[in-house]
Structure 1
């Protein structure tokens, strides 16, 4: 009893204090060990080889480590609750109690146990461990490793039983946690990259490239396209002889071709086709529309990663970005008419520049 015959019982208070420390130890260990990332483990390996060996052993079978922490924590919880409840029963005279006395004992037990177990034994140590997980893991690794070795036979039994239950339920095996922990997440990779940048092992160009790669899958066509009002285009019914000077001046290898207005892109002209036919006697009077090819249409919200795959599959380098409403009509119409409203054009170069930054312009490639 904490209070026996009106006097304080230091022995029982000491036992409860030790048990609370054990509970806090387990709670902090759980948070610290399971929040360590590869970068932190590598730092521990470089500076604290002995502690790293213990941590590596404990994390080799994370299911057993978790079982041990939860098993010990539950035993400590039950012991503290029993001591507090027993003390309250003795305080009310022991023996048989009335219903009202039991209600009071239960209420007082909850009022005492909740702050002790939840606030002091669980929440506070977990918050501390979350903020200082590497330090807590280093400090706790010794006692935890010793306890692990002592309880290993018991842990093996529990681990086998849990594995049997998971297999019976056709759930993921007990090694799934280990596999999950071995996966380097995007956040971990970015953390490694930023640390390397601060230490000078990753230069600014490499850092920007890595960030662009991670952002690539989230970027859309609308972010890199050239608005149709700013894009160079030529009329479909124009004669080649009339547009050739302007095409040479612009020096693009592909040129959008419009119909009634510049928002009605009806094709793509490959300038190399003009160069191949430049000695043809009838080329000068030929209309552009007879040389153009059908354009690929994409929506402004298409992911760049998907557009890149579309470019590769179709072996195209330019696509027309159309209004989302008219983009639906493209799939529904089989008339062959190109009356969708174009809002921009996007090229393979635009997609690649979203990763690698500014690269040689198409103008530098043409004659």
Structure 2
């Protein structure tokens, strides 16, 4: 079956590219992907599978086999786009102003649609069940995966696999990470309320900007002095809204930021210290504060046993489409695949997609308006995940 599957996928490379380009030209924002979801669902119509739509939102879940015996393996790809104005100049660039597939979800969806179709044709040779998850809303917190997991759609899944394309590696290279793989993330918003006044008379006011500046600099001592140096995390203040006039003391300022952490234990430390620092501002500066935390995704944890098996499947596979399988460092990016791995042993690995013919070694990363991929990566993803499916079910 492996050989048949690889031959089928090779023969359908152009179809994968065509699907990717169609999706790329017609992106939709998170939680507004109705047309994309309909396009995916229509692809599976009149095929011998069970198709569930509107799962936890706009997600589409396809069940291959629904066997009464054997394990159930889930394969997941996301399909939402980003609020970015595309600058690639591609002939199939976005036709939706201000919306772009700048993270590769179009490629994720294209590979999985064709791989799933091939697996449907070969389903009689699969001793178990495969659930294909076409997921919405990955780019916008808390993430579509959370809403899917709040349903019973995946209650029978034993293991789950996901991939992501990244341009830091060439097509043909696959990277993996066992254990803590990607960071959790939580956004925060802090409003500091002082007393406005004239710049010439600061003693008659209470300067919220001074309190905010103290907060920004002191915030970094949480990581340097309150966290074990062997734990990985980051805190960033990305917005400081204190604009006013040169001779006016602002009445209030608003700061917004982001915390990243590789374990839920570290999040608890960061959250506790953040609240203590904010409470200290009130005592030290006599201001009033309002701190709000916005739920983000937890860290992605790759099951070590499953990850070891995935690496084994890939390194002993029959295809010549892979140039290398390498270990990845921990990544501080946020991925809602984490909601699956909280409940289901999973493995989320990375597919190189660095475009060919780059100029001056400039590679535009995910979420950049000029982000693009080497479309060979779509076929690599399909074959790599196909190898994992075959290895998982012990198919020769």
- TM interval, short-chain normalised: under 0.3
More strand by share: 2
**So what's the TM-score if we normalise by structure 2?**
0.22
Normalising by structure 1, report the TM-score. Answer: 0.24
By relative contact order (CA 8 Å, sep 6+), the higher-ranking structure is 2
Question: Max radius of gyration: which structure?
Answer: 1
